[in-house]
Amino acid sequence: MGKSLIEAVMSAEPDLGLGAATVKAGDPSLGLDAGLLASGRKAGVRTVDSLAGCAGDFDVLIDFTSPAALAGHAEFCRAHRKALVLGTTGLGPEHHELLAACAEAAPVLHAPNMSLGVNLSLQLLRQAGAALGEGFDVEIIEAHHRHKKDAPSGTALAMGRAVAETRGQNLADCAIYGRRGISGERDRNTIGFASVRGGDIVGEHTVIFAGPGERLEISHKAGNRATFANGALRAARWLAGKPPKLYTMPDVLTPANAGLASCPSWRL
């Protein structure tokens, strides 16, 4: 994902530029030109293993790393008042507390999926959940590559929450994560999840509304990671210069914000 982001920045309009790029301590790519690692073209920015010396090098931090790295990144953005676009999934309550603290000093946008199509799907799911109600059973199937560490995916959980909220439910109380053996008849108040892991599947999500005599399916399939990278850049453009607050992708996609107006040369 990091390589996709760097390539997207290097191919973007002149209003965006690469200011810094981080890797894990001890990574073989440490100190190399980030552009050569991503696209074979020099970016003039060498990778570092810490943001400590980069405060003057960028305006917006795009983070697709891991929950373990979030504490340091959020604290850096809070201390230096840098905008933060976060696409990391698998977050727990403690991570959301870090984001809330960071958002008191800097603009923060978190989304479990930066794809524009996925975020539009969430809106469609809310409409479908409200219209169909509890008369339809809801099952969510998601598939990702073999290296993905969390399950269900953050996107699948966001889709489940979108449907649950329209039905007046708390997802934590109604979610079923897989079935095995004699599980009994389905409780129609539940929302089921199934996760597939294999190969190089980028990301596929399908929400099934199964009712008497008919079935509605809302699906999204990502063909490559550029989908998420381009969505993250759009979020970064929109977030740059915003007041401190915790934002979401629907804020970016509201009709009033739907344009792609350039921002004044922000560095990422």
pLDDT at 264: 55
Structural domains of the chain sorted by starting position, each given as residue range(s) with its CATH number in brackets: 2-114+225-267 (3.40.50.720), 116-222 (3.30.360.10)
Determine the Cα–Cα distance for residues 48 and 205; give it in Å rounded to an integer: 35
CB 4 within 8 A of CB 228: yes
pLDDT at 262: 47
Six-digit token pair at 209?
């509304």
pLDDT tens digits for range 243-262: 999 999 989 987 555 444 44
pLDDT at 257: 55
CB 197 within 8 A of CB 143: yes
266 pLDDT band, cuts 50/70/90, is low
Six-digit token pair at 262?
């350039």
Determine the Cα–Cα distance for residues 239 and 103; give it in Å rounded to an integer: 12
- Selection from 45, 68, 47, 58 nearest residue 16 by Cα: 58
pLDDT at 89: 85
Determine the Cα–Cα distance for residues 137 and 209; give it in Å rounded to an integer: 6
- Alpha-helical regions (H) of 41-188: 67-80, 93-102, 116-132, 154-166, 171-174
Q: Which residues are catalytic?
A: 144, 148
pLDDT tens digits for range 45-84: 999 999 999 999 999 999 999 999 999 999 999 999 999 9
Residue 155 has pLDDT above 60, yes or no: yes
Helix axes 93-102, 67-80, angle to 10 degrees: 10
Strands 137-144 and 60-63: unpaired
- Selection from 106, 67, 66 nearest residue 84 by Cα: 106
Helix axes 116-132, 226-239, angle to 10 degrees: 90
pLDDT tens digits for range 164-213: 999 999 999 999 998 999 889 999 899 999 999 999 999 999 999 999 99
pLDDT tens digits for range 90-110: 889 999 999 999 999 999 999
Predicted structure pTM score: 0.76
Q: What is the DSSP letter of 81?
A: T
Determine the Cα–Cα distance for residues 129 and 131; give it in Å rounded to an integer: 6
CB 171 within 8 A of CB 191: yes
Residue 265 has pLDDT above 70, yes or no: no
pLDDT tens digits for range 4-34: 999 999 988 788 899 999 999 999 999 999 9
Determine the Cα–Cα distance for residues 17 and 242; give it in Å rounded to an integer: 19
